[in-house]
Structure 1
Amino acid sequence: MTDRTDTARLKLRPQILSGDEIAMGPGKAALLDAIAETGSISAAGRRLGMSYRRTWLLVDAMNRCWAEPLVAAVTGGVKGGGARVTPFGAAVRADYAAWAARLAEAGAGTEPLLARLRAEPLAPGSH
C-alpha cells in the first residue's frame, strides 16, 4: 500500500570532496558565478545573502582544495581592486556544471520508487 504524497522526493546533492572539505558543491558553484558576474567577493556574498567572512571562507576553501586557485584577487583600479574567477576556476565550474546535469538526469525515472514511500515516516516504535 502506498501513502505517498508530494512530500516524497529524491535529493541528489552533487558535492566533490578534497579530504573532508567540500571542494565544490551547489553553493560554491553559485558563488563562483556571482564572483564572475560582479568582479567582487563582497558583492558576490551580498548577492547570495552571505556575510563577507562566510564568502571569504568559501573562496579560501575552494582555493585550498584545487590544484590551482579558482579565484584570484585583482589589485588597484578606481574601485581599489576586486576578484576574478581564474581560467582554471572557469574550467572547474564548467566541468562541475556538466557533471551535475548528468547526475540530475540519472535521478529521472524514480517515480515508481518514490511512490512506495510514506508521506511521513511512522513514529519510532509504532510499526
Structure 2
Amino acid sequence: MSITTAHPARFRAARCSGAGCPPVTTPGIGSQALGTPAMASSSWLIGRTAASFPRTIYLMSLRMASSRRPSLRVHLKPHHKLWLNWDGAFLMGPRYLRFLDAVDRTGTIRAAGREVGWSYRTCLNRIREMERVLGAKVLATTRGGARRGGARVTPEARRLVTLFARWKREAVRLSDVAFRKILPR
C-alpha cells in the first residue's frame, strides 16, 4: 500500500496548493501503482508518520487492483443516529435507552452506568436532566446500599423506552429498504 496526497504538509510551507502540486507518495508503505484509490482519513495514519494531511488522502489497496469495481451493495451500509426531543429539548438517545434497559436488568444505577460507560455522577446528571425535560420521574430509587437499595424504571419511562426501541427498529428497517431501493445494481 502507498499513501498519496496532493496536499501534504511540506507543500503548505512552499505555498503549493491546488491542482498544480504534484502528488507525493509516503515512502515505506508500498507502491503507488497498485490500483484504484479508495478514501482514507488522516486518523488512519496516527502513529505511522509525522506529517499532517489536511486534505484528501488516497489509499491504494491490493484488493482494488482488479479492473472490476466492487459492488456498492456489498460494502455500503447506512448508519443512523436517532434521538427523541420533548418540546424541542433533548430527551433521550440510543445510549439512554441502553442505560434504562440496564437499570431494568441490574436493578442499580451504578451497574447500569458501567454497562454503558458512564460514571455514577454522569448517570445521576443524565437522569436529572431527563426528569427535568419530561417533568416526571424516570427512576424510582430506594436507599440502602447493596442489600436493600436499588432502582427501577417508572411506568412512564418504560413506555418511552418501548416507544423509542420500536421507533428505532422501524426507522432502521425502512431506511435500509429505501437505501437498497435507490442503490444501483
TM-score under structure 2 normalisation?
Answer: 0.53
Quote the RMSD (CA, aligned, Å): 2.7
Worse overlay, 30-39 or 44-53: 44-53
- Among all aligned residue pairs of Structure 1 and Structure 2, give the percentage whose two residues are the same amino acid: 29
| Contact 2:95–2:116 (8 Å) recurs in 1 | no
Are 2:178 and 1:103 aligned?
no
SS in 2 for 1:83: strand
Shift of 1:85: 0.4
| Contact 1:2–1:115 (8 Å) recurs in 2 | no
Shift of 1:94: 0.8
Determine the structure 2 residue equivalent to 1:39: 107
TM-score under structure 1 normalisation?
Answer: 0.73
SS in 2 for 1:84: strand
Are 2:129 and 1:61 aligned?
yes
| Contact 1:71–1:85 (8 Å) recurs in 2 | yes
User: Counterparts of 1:29 and 1:55 in 2: how far apart (Å)?
Assistant: 12
Q: Output the amino acid matched with 2:114.
A: R
| Contact 2:78–2:176 (8 Å) recurs in 1 | no
In structure 2, stretches of 5+ residues that fail to align are 1-68
The structure having more radius of gyration, on CA atoms, is 2
Shift of 1:49: 2.4
RCO comparison, higher one (Cα < 8 Å, 6+): 1
SS in 2 for 1:89: helix
Shift of 1:42: 0.8
User: Counterparts of 2:146 and 2:78 in 1: how far apart (Å)?
Assistant: 48
Determine the structure 1 residue equivalent to 2:96: 28
